[in-house]
A and B are shown apart, each in its own frame.
Chain A
Amino acid sequence: MVKSIHIEKLNYVYQSGTPFSRRALTDVSLDIKTGSYTAIIGHTGSGKSTLLQHLNGLLKPTSGSLTVAGNHITSETKNKELNELRHHVGFVFQFPEAQLFEETVLKDIAFAPKNFGKSDEEAEQVAAKMATLVGLPDSVLDSSPFELSGGQMRRVAIAGVLAMEPQILVLDEPTAGLDPKGRLEMMEMFEQLHQEQHLTIILVTHQMNDVANYADHVVVMENGGLIANSTPERVFSDPDWLHKHHLGLPQTTAFAAKLAKQGVPFETLPLTEKQLAEKLAELMPQSGGELHG
């Protein structure tokens, strides 16, 4: 598989060279394959957002380097060279609705494609398409983004990022502050993009359920370094290790772990409801027999 992102010995220090300097990343090395879905988890302040901001050149490494979609970035990279990179990396920030500013929803969604060289007409076409994709009704396209509900504003902001038609989609807690239904719809939408358009997705989240349901890779961060880089199955198979690092289990896995303590023989802990149901169905005849016997 092609490497979409290659990070080598990345170090980052905030306000370096001042008395307030603060180390945020230490020797981070990481590869992310094209078309993969990677979740980054870790305690508050572990450096997740800092790492993400390197992926489209918002921060430049203090030392070390990274290559993203063919663009090599070091501490020396010029700002001019970053535009090309930003075109390929869509970035959804925490509470992205803060970025809305245009008069109409459609114009706001079309803002990024216009900046990256599309004509007004093309940009608005893409914008309309993305608005439908994120589930915005046509009726809101001509209203001001500031008249919408919080959840709708979030959708507008996300559509505005998707409209760049990026190869890599970086999501920093995209569902924080949404209701459960909105959260599920949003996550399903990203999954659909991942499946249909083979977008490489990098998701920072505190929702272990989302990790279990969608990601094929997990990176665990602590104090600015990586402490695990593996699959969800492997990471969630060790509840004690997770607990030690102040991380939780997905609901299903937590439930299965309780069952396992009661003597239900799982080879590996299931991650999703579906896996759990299948596993239990397999085990049913024996245990069912015992129960009724």
Chain B
Amino acid sequence: MDKMLLGRYINGESLIHHLDPRGKLFLSFYFIVIVFLCNNWETYVLMAAMVMLFVKLSDISLGFFIKGVRPLIWLILFTVLLQIFFSSGGQVFWHFGPFTITDQGLINGVFVFCRFVLIIFMSTLLTLTTTPIEISDGLESLLKPLTKIKVPVYEIALMLSIALRFVPTLMDETTKIMNAQRARGVNFGEGNLLKQIKSVIPLLIPLFVSSFNRAEDLATAMEARGYHGGEGRTKYREQEWRKNDTLAVILFIALTGALIFLRN
């Protein structure tokens, strides 16, 4: 449980940390879209250079980003192999039944790999430099126009921020209760299937009880302070669009231009 790295915020004071979360969210999605513009070496090198620049600017060591790739490595390799074995075109190196390896296929494999890594690095950058609360606030403002067509954006954002807020609490609680039951002789993850299922009960019941208690406390606290939904509510954490955010957008526009120019 302690090993979870994906999506953990790392406190920092870098340029990237201080960007407006709305801009960061939007540009991260936008980045994923324009990665699909890449179709030759020049474009991939350009995108890789940009990502390295952002990593550098975030003051977070490269190790964190590489760790973000690890959990997905099998999915990536699987996709890459599909590309390599089933692409056609170009010079054929090897052929067996439905499988063919061509130089085009190899190049495509490498490109797919790069695409995955670029996207993972960029989303890791977002979650490492933006707190979960900022992300859900940012999402709320980006989705605000949807309230016009009766999408319950405020409620969704509230649910999201509460859920995100309580993930670490719940993980702590799980560890604590597991420890307490271990001390009382429960062996989690040992013995036959029936035994294992039985051992989950002393963990789940206390977790449910404490989650319900917590939810009730939270609801009481929110009502006591007069919470009544999104419309007209002001925020404690103001989001502020600064010069750097505009610069970031301009950079991405320029990047898109360059990609269109370089791709074939």
Taking Cβ atoms with an 8 Å cutoff, the residues of A that contact B are: 14-15, 18-20, 53, 56, 58, 79-80, 83, 86-87, 89-91, 93, 96, 98-101, 111-112, 115-116, 146, 160-161, 164
Contact = CB atoms under 8 A, between A and B. Distances in A.
B176 A98 contact: yes
Contacts of A93: 176, 179-180, 183
Contacts, number: 71
Nearest to B208: A101
Given A19-B67, A99-B177, A111 B182 contact: no
Interface stretch (B103-111, B184-192, B220-228): B184-192
Contact of A116 (B64, B185, B206): B185
A79 B190 CA distance: 10
A164 B67 CA distance: 43
B185 A87 contact: yes
A86 B183 CA distance: 6
A255 B61 CA distance: 54
A150 to B, nearest CB: 11
A112 B184 contact: yes
Q: In the complex, which of the residues A98, A99, A115 has the most CB atoms of chain B within 10 Å of its own CB atom?
A: A99
B3 A101 contact: no
B201 interface: yes
Give the interface residue-count category, chain B: 20 to 34
B5 interface: yes
Contacts of B210: 98
B5 to A, nearest CB: 7
Contact of B64 (A14, A19, A99): A19
Contact of A19 (B63, B182, B190): B63
Contacts of A58: 179, 182-183
A147 B33 CA distance: 55
A39 B218 CA distance: 36
A98 B201 contact: no
B259 to A, nearest CB: 32
Given A19-B67, A99-B177, 5 more contacts: A18-B67, A19-B64, A53-B179, A99-B206, A100-B206
Contact of A160 (B182, B184, B187, B209): B184
B184 A161 contact: yes
Contacts of B182: 58, 86
A19 B3 contact: no
B71 interface: no
B196 interface: no
B205 interface: yes
Interface of B: 2-3, 5, 8, 61, 63-64, 67, 173, 176-177, 179-187, 190, 201-202, 205-206, 209-210
Contacts of A18: 2-3, 5, 67
B183 A56 contact: yes
B206 A101 contact: yes
B168 to A, nearest CB: 12
Contact of A115 (B2, B67, B186, B205): B186
A58 B184 CA distance: 11
Which 9 pairs, one residue from A and one from B, show the smallest C-beta to C-beta distance?
Answer: A115-B185, A99-B180, A101-B205, A112-B184, A91-B183, A15-B2, A101-B202, A116-B185, A58-B179
B46 to A, nearest CB: 29
Contacts of B185: 83, 86-87, 111-112, 115-116, 164
Given A56-B183, A111-B184, A14 B61 contact: no
Contacts of A15: 2-3
A4 B185 CA distance: 21
A196 B133 CA distance: 54
A19 B61 contact: yes
B211 to A, nearest CB: 12
Nearest to A160: B184
A161 B183 contact: yes
B174 to A, nearest CB: 11
19 contacts: A15-B3, A19-B63, A58-B183, A79-B187, A79-B190, A86-B183, A91-B183, A93-B176, A93-B179, A98-B180, A100-B206, A101-B202, A101-B209, A111-B184, A111-B185, A111-B202, A112-B185, A115-B186, A164-B185
A164 B184 CA distance: 8
A164 B180 CA distance: 13
Contacts of A20: 2, 5, 8
Given A18-B5, A98-B210, A100-B206, A83 B187 contact: yes
B7 to A, nearest CB: 13
Nearest to B181: A99
Contacts of A19: 5, 61, 63-64, 67
Contacts of A100: 206
Contact of B177 (A14, A53, A98, A116): A98
A164 B185 CA distance: 9
